[in-house]
Chains A and B, each alone.
Chain A
Amino acid sequence: MDMLKRAIASDLFWSFKRSPVAVISALVAITLILAAVFAPLLAPYNPFDPASLNLMNGFSKPMEPNAFTGESFVLGTDDQGRDVLSTILYGMRISLFVGALAVLFAMVIGVVLGLVAAYAGGRTDAIIMRIADVQLTFPSILVAMLIFGIAKGFTPIHLRDQMAIWVLIISIGLSDWVQFARVVRGAALVEKSKEYVEAAILIGRGPVAIIFKHILPNVLSPVLVIATISLALAIISEATLSFLGVGAPPTQPSLGTLIRIGQGYLFSGEWWILFFPAVTLLLLALSVNLLGDWLRDALNPKLDD
């Protein structure tokens, strides 16, 4: 209760209330995230269970009974007879799961390497940051594809479907750590020369304790901002990889896979297979991105008007 009161009284919440964009995007994002989390309860069908599919339901139009089976689906069905609504709900889970874990992964690597680089300085700093620079010269989607391709070669075929999601997480995470490292290093360099760090050194605390106990909490707010924006980017990266056919397996479609499938049926007028997943992806990425933008503005006093 106390926490909640403090949160409501905080500057951040005050600025949140004043920004209609932030409120709306938060509402949209939370709705979508909840829908994804509770997909098994909300979805009328389980699209990941191939045994429950009836191919004859394929290409049903939204809200119209299927010509062969007479069944009716709110958002129609795709080419395999999967209910589009259920598939979107389940697909969103994959998109969010991959996005969140990939960002977490990137954040852990980026923050640790950034802190180490800043604190150690000298050669360690140079090596870590040059690696980061080199990686920045490649588009991150290319890096993700490269890692995905290599990892796929190592996974045994029968595990590939299950592993695909984890490989996605690692490849997106590894392609994304650089910005965390750079920002954290910049912030940590400033903190490093402050008196409280010198005081901590004086009383004999070890470098690990200083980095994580003293410096880390003070560089967290930019990390938070980047993490939110990265989440939107990671969701889009995942969708892009799946769209290109190198991401989530077709039997466990994510939003990107659904868009890829739907794209093949645009000429023939089966627009719903592409349209609904695309709109969902748009709403999800946009709302998270707008939230990130707002967070950046709210946490950065220099941008205040």
Chain B
Amino acid sequence: MMYDNFALDCFVILYLTFNRFESLAAKGYLLKKYRFQGVSGFSALGSPKQSQDRTKINSWFNRVFNTGGQILFKKISLTASAALLVSTSFVAAETLNWARAGDSLTMDPHAQNEGPTHTLAHQIYEPLLLRDNTGAVEAALATEWGPSADNPNIWEFKLREGVTYHDGAEFDSEDVVFSITRAMSEHSNMKELLSSVKEVRATGKYSVEIETNGPNPIMASNLTNLFMMDKGWAEANDAVAVQDIEGGEETFASRNTNGTGPYKLVSRAADSLTELEAFDGYWGKGEFPLEITKINYTPIKNPATRVAALLSGEVDFIQDVPVQDLARVDGDENLQVITAPQNRVIFFGLNQGDADLKTDDVEGKNPFADLRVRQAMNMAINREAIQKIVMRDQSIPAGVAMPPFVNGWTEALDTLPSSDLDAAKALMADAGYGDGFSVTLHCPNDRYINDEPICQAAVGMFAQIGITVNLDAKPKAQHFPQIANSETDFYMLGWGVPTFDSAYIFNFLVHTRSDERGSWNGTRYSNAEVDEMIVSLESETDLDVRDATVAKIWAQVQEDVLYLPIHHQVLNWGTSNKIDTVVSPEDQPKFKYFTLK
């Protein structure tokens, strides 16, 4: 939708024109108090190297926010400006009106490995293991799990008993085998997470084992977004095969759901409204707050409209407060902004593998194939300017396409390339592109924080080294298939790492694009040596050797300038102050944990 809710936009303009006077009058909004909250959840990250993770995140956070000590979630409160036009219509019942820029791309839980898609799915479907809102791994449909004592290639799972699907069917090991096999089948976008899996076997009604090709120490964290479906339901509704989303297919499972999760789907109109309702037969009743009983999810692409909806009380929770409106939202006496660093990095990808580019004006050659051009482009991006102006300090400039939460991240890797324009121009001239060239940049406009303005700013920065960039910004529903189908030469992408491990990045973004791996690698980069190292990570049990390989792969990726990193995102959730939650570093609110004040 290019023009969501035009009438509302008009209204907002009018509303603001009047309201602005008030805000200017009450211009004294100064930072009044900072409140810090410690978050304990990270100590249970579930990664083999918890303590190291923890120190790393801490050190990174200190660097970013200069707060010292522990992981802190910053909450900025500003003096509330006086009389406000905001209605106090926080739903009397326990309805949560939730909005964010974009919609879920499909209801098929295995068809897209994408944040907003998983976020909606998490309310309806459940994985074996779950990350709660703090990022800690906890039991969901599996109650006990771990590598087998006898065979290091086998992970054993004990399943939760007495779980039923929304349609009343019982959950058992057959469904787990079915779901994981389905997630490894054609068109599944979850394959990379399961690339080490050899076989899934039911060993009893409530026990399952997963056999891997060699020991896989991080199996557990690969399963936190892998949802369980009912075998019988899928078979009865012709939904055994995963929806081919790039091919434009629609299936029963892409529009209907039957999960075991806390909420069931009542109705859904893509890009407009999805209604969820608490599931009466949920196994977790009494275990989780489950205070919200009804959820209305509305994607609102236009940032001003989205904020206006929050300010007016039309919605209670938005996941992406535009950076320029943070003070406005937090200054509202009925609202709060909760901030946390996100486990996500934003970067540009370049088609460096093809012999010629489709969208450039260089005949018979691919300018991106020249390392010097990529280096020059990497230097031309003024990351600090993007941070200061476009993101208003709500980002951390990045030198590597890996969020600092991830195992393998080092400060040295994340060092920013120098933004030396003269050196960049010299490199361009060296490569024979002293007069520059033109190319099209594809950019989403409803996915990441300020995605389109970042791309626009980049257009100006690349122009300074002679590259004329035509910007083509469009909704993610059209943008992502272009990357998947290798139809773009130059694109923006953001990558969150739910496993908190580098292998996840390598599998999706670095490995040569093939049936099993590299599905989000739109760069056409193919390095057999790197591929081999990536595969070896899966079965490496010696963590020191594994870490050394990870470091080696990163060194190669950085040397080849595979991606042009921009920044790590900072999350800003805007909620009614009746809602009590912490910000999930994966930007995946799970509403069963939300409590109401």
- Interchain CB contact under 8 A, B303 and A264: yes
In the assembled complex, the Cα of A249 lies from the Cα of B470 at a distance in Å of 10
In the assembled complex, the Cα of A68 lies from the Cα of B388 at a distance in Å of 10
**B459 nearest CB neighbor, chain A only:** A50
Is A70 an interface residue when CB atoms closer than 8 A count as contact?
Answer: no
Residues of B within 8 A of A250 (CB): 452, 456, 471, 473
Q: Contact mask B443-468 → A, CB, 8 Å, 1/0?
A: 00000000011001101111110000
Is A125 an interface residue when CB atoms closer than 8 A count as contact?
Answer: no
Is B328 an interface residue when CB atoms closer than 8 A count as contact?
Answer: yes
- Interchain CB contact under 8 A, B324 and A264: yes
The B interface, classified by DSSP as helix, strand, loop or mixed, is: helix
In the assembled complex, the Cα of A160 lies from the Cα of B472 at a distance in Å of 9
In the assembled complex, the Cα of A22 lies from the Cα of B457 at a distance in Å of 43
A-B contact count (CB 8 A): 101
Is A2 an interface residue when CB atoms closer than 8 A count as contact?
Answer: no
- Interchain CB contact under 8 A, B361 and A158: yes
**A270 nearest CB neighbor, chain B only:** B324
- Chain B stretch 515-551: residues in CB contact (< 8 A) with chain A: none
In the assembled complex, the Cα of A48 lies from the Cα of B311 at a distance in Å of 35
Is A79 an interface residue when CB atoms closer than 8 A count as contact?
Answer: yes
**Interface footprint category on B:** 35 or more
Is B355 an interface residue when CB atoms closer than 8 A count as contact?
Answer: no
B441 shortest CB reach to chain A, Å:
10
Is A221 an interface residue when CB atoms closer than 8 A count as contact?
Answer: no
Is B6 an interface residue when CB atoms closer than 8 A count as contact?
Answer: yes
**Given A79-B389, A265-B324, A267-B324, A158 and B24 touching (CB < 8 A)?**
no
Is A244 an interface residue when CB atoms closer than 8 A count as contact?
Answer: yes
Residues of B within 8 A of A68 (CB): 388
- Interchain CB contact under 8 A, A251 and B361: no
Is A202 an interface residue when CB atoms closer than 8 A count as contact?
Answer: no
In the assembled complex, the Cα of A79 lies from the Cα of B23 at a distance in Å of 21
In the assembled complex, the Cα of A51 lies from the Cα of B428 at a distance in Å of 15
- Interchain CB contact under 8 A, A53 and B324: no
The A interface, classified by DSSP as helix, strand, loop or mixed, is: loop
Is B269 an interface residue when CB atoms closer than 8 A count as contact?
Answer: no
Is A9 an interface residue when CB atoms closer than 8 A count as contact?
Answer: no
Is B16 an interface residue when CB atoms closer than 8 A count as contact?
Answer: yes
Residues of B within 8 A of A251 (CB): 456, 459, 471
- Interchain CB contact under 8 A, A267 and B304: yes
In the assembled complex, the Cα of A55 lies from the Cα of B566 at a distance in Å of 15
Q: Contact mask A240-274 → B, CB, 8 Å, 1/0?
A: 00001110011100000000000111111111001
Residues of B within 8 A of A157 (CB): 359, 440, 470, 472
Is B250 an interface residue when CB atoms closer than 8 A count as contact?
Answer: no
- Interchain CB contact under 8 A, B457 and A80: yes
In the assembled complex, the Cα of A27 lies from the Cα of B20 at a distance in Å of 32
Is A59 an interface residue when CB atoms closer than 8 A count as contact?
Answer: yes
Is B216 an interface residue when CB atoms closer than 8 A count as contact?
Answer: no
Residues of A within 8 A of B20 (CB): 266, 269, 271
Is A161 an interface residue when CB atoms closer than 8 A count as contact?
Answer: yes
In the assembled complex, the Cα of A79 lies from the Cα of B459 at a distance in Å of 13
Is B95 an interface residue when CB atoms closer than 8 A count as contact?
Answer: no
Is B76 an interface residue when CB atoms closer than 8 A count as contact?
Answer: no
**Given A55-B460, A80-B453, A266 and B470 touching (CB < 8 A)?**
no
List 15 interface pairs A-B (beta carbons < 8 Å), by A numbering. Answer: A50-B459, A51-B463, A51-B464, A55-B389, A79-B389, A157-B472, A161-B470, A246-B2, A251-B456, A263-B304, A264-B303, A264-B304, A264-B322, A269-B24, A271-B20
5 smallest CB-CB distances across A and B, nearest first, come from: A268-B324, A51-B463, A58-B389, A50-B463, A55-B385
- Chain B residues with CB under 8 Å of chain A are 2-3, 6, 9, 12-13, 16-17, 20, 23-24, 302-304, 307-308, 311, 322, 324-325, 327-328, 359, 361, 382, 385-386, 388-390, 438, 440, 452-453, 456-457, 459-464, 469-473
